[in-house]
Amino acid sequence: MSDKGLRPIMFAGTGSDVGKSIIATAFCRIFRQDGYHPAPFKAQNMALNSYATPEGLEIGRAQAVQAEAAGIECHTDMNPILLKPSSDKVCQVVLNGRPYGNQDAYQYFKTDGRRKFCDAVNDAFDRLATCYNPIVMEGAGSISEINLRDTDLVNMPMAIHAGANVILVADIDRGGVFASVYGSVMLLSEEERKYIKGILINKFRGDIRLFESGIKMLEGLCGVPVIGVVPYYKDIYIEEEDSVMLQTKNLQASQGKINIAVVLLRHLSNFTDFNALERDPRVHLFYTNNTDEIKKADIILIPGSKNTISDLYELRKNGVAQSIVQAHKDGATVVGICGGYQMMGLEVCDPLHIEGDIDRLPGLGLLPVSTTIGGEKVTRQVQFSFLDDDSVCSGYEIHMGTTLPDEKEKGSPVNRLKDGTMDGYFVDNKCFGTYVHGILDNKAVIDYILEPYAGKLNKTVFDYKQFKEEQYDKLADHVRKYVDMDLVYKIMTTDSV
């Protein structure tokens, strides 16, 4: 490792879903492998997939994954603004890890009051930059949303504040790569274009030699080098930022494996709760809201939701609620996490109308508990013991609401937290709920819920933490192979913009 510090690097995109998050994750691991002490940073993230920091604050899951790849604990300074959509037009704004309020898009993007958000993201970056080097920054959406230029916090204004080298990431798989790259660069102001130091072509399929002339054309048009052409991959598994592709995992039941259905909610959050199970060789996991597929599953998992009452209403309306209850009567296991736990109870009440206009909605009636949605959000990392197992498990909580047993019922907790408090409600080995996200990352819990179906397969040991580390290394090797790292380091050690 050079004694000289590296200037920040930002991976900005020609559009959404071009692979910025994955590329940033790869570089976090590459810099760590090369002896540096990197940290990720995204000023503003929009996602329902969030994570609790060790301090009990909330950030986007993508930055938590990038921090994990960098080998460090995550922190709110890595993602000071998180927008969590609660409807098509309204988002909960999470500022420095704490709920700031609900705002519609017009309110959030108007110029009045924008200084507060701008100062917050700049201050967060400045704090992070004093502790880590290099900072691996990520843009959002397109780098050239010129209609939002005056209120942009996450792309070029952030790069200029940080003095970052910007690498423009383009997805060649979707087509139009020349127009998207050239158009993105040319729509920037002359001052902004000075910060564009390279182009990275992502998701390439076929023989890269056929694109060599295209590289020269792009470099000639844009006046900056192409630092690499990264091929599309299928055999590397990194947590995804968005849930838009979950439907593609909706596959038919698999013979010789334990079939697990995750209920596909409209406002599904924290779908990464199921990543460990998805990679477990004993399991065939799929996402569905098809009533017939739910009835065929061995295990049904009801995930978290950004709007529990709205999703519960939809489940009752489309028949999924009834299919879950019937499947359980027929012998299937049903486990609810966070919002899913709330839905499994007798009722969900929202007297303050935090989630909408509905005061009360009956739950699935699988657990003798009732939930009242409250105004204060709980966010914290937790350690706990699961049922009677002595091993120490870990996870995190992000929820609004209090869930209590019916007055005729005694408490029957699933987890005993390290601070002595109890979590969840346990009916039997085929019916329980918990507020703990990440509970299924723990071997003791996975083995417990799979045990009733062990007769379908031979036991296989699976270490999810080790698996993730292997995937980060595979991703780093893949990107390093196709990117000119000597050029990247040269760019990052140049003093002038």
- What does the mean pLDDT of the chain come to? 90
Task: Identify the residue with better confidence: 249 or 221.
Answer: 221
The residue among 298, 279, 278, 232 whose CA lies nearest residue 475 is 232
SS (H, E, C) 16-82: CCCCHHHHHHHHHHHHHHCCCECEEECCEEECCCEEECCCCCEEEHHHHHHHHHHCCCCCHHHCCEE
pTM comes to: 0.72
Instruction: Check: CB of residue 299 under 8 Å from CB of residue 261.
Output: yes
Q: Which of 94-98, 211-215, 279-283, 455-459 has the lowest mean pLDDT?
A: 455-459
Instruction: Check: CB of residue 124 under 8 Å from CB of residue 96.
Output: yes
Burial class (CB in 10 A: 0-12, 13-18, 19+), 431: middle
Please provide residue 15's backbone torsions phi and psi, each rounded to the nearest 5 degrees.
-175, -175
Do the bridges between strand 268-269 and strand 304-305 make them parallel or antiparallel, or are there none, so unpaired?
A: antiparallel
- Average pLDDT, integer, range 118-136: 96
pLDDT tens profile 344-362? 999 999 998 888 889 999 9
d(CA 153, CA 176): 27
pLDDT tens profile 85-118? 877 778 889 999 998 888 887 777 776 778 889 9
83-97, 372-386, 405-419, 434-448, range with greatest mean pLDDT: 434-448
Residue 143's pLDDT is 94
d(CA 238, CA 27): 13
Residue 2's pLDDT is 43
- Average pLDDT, integer, range 207-216: 91
Residue 111's pLDDT is 66
Task: Identify the residue with better confidence: 272 or 23.
Answer: 23
pLDDT at 19 over 80: yes
Residue 148's pLDDT is 83
Task: Identify the residue with better confidence: 209 or 340.
Answer: 340
26-40, 90-104, 198-212, range with greatest mean pLDDT: 26-40
Domains present along the chain, CATH in parentheses: 9-237+471-492 (3.40.50.300), 257-456 (3.40.50.880)
Q: How many CB atoms lie within 10 A of CB 420?
A: 6
pLDDT tens profile 454-463? 887 755 567 8
pLDDT at 251 over 50: no
pLDDT tens profile 291-330? 988 988 999 999 999 899 999 999 999 999 999 999 999 9
- Average pLDDT, integer, range 418-447: 95
Burial class (CB in 10 A: 0-12, 13-18, 19+), 103: middle
pLDDT at 250 over 90: no
pLDDT at 254 over 70: no
Catalytic choice (28, 222, 338, 393): 338
Indicate if 338 belongs to the active site. Answer: yes
Q: Which of 111-115, 144-148, 438-442 has the lowest mean pLDDT?
A: 111-115
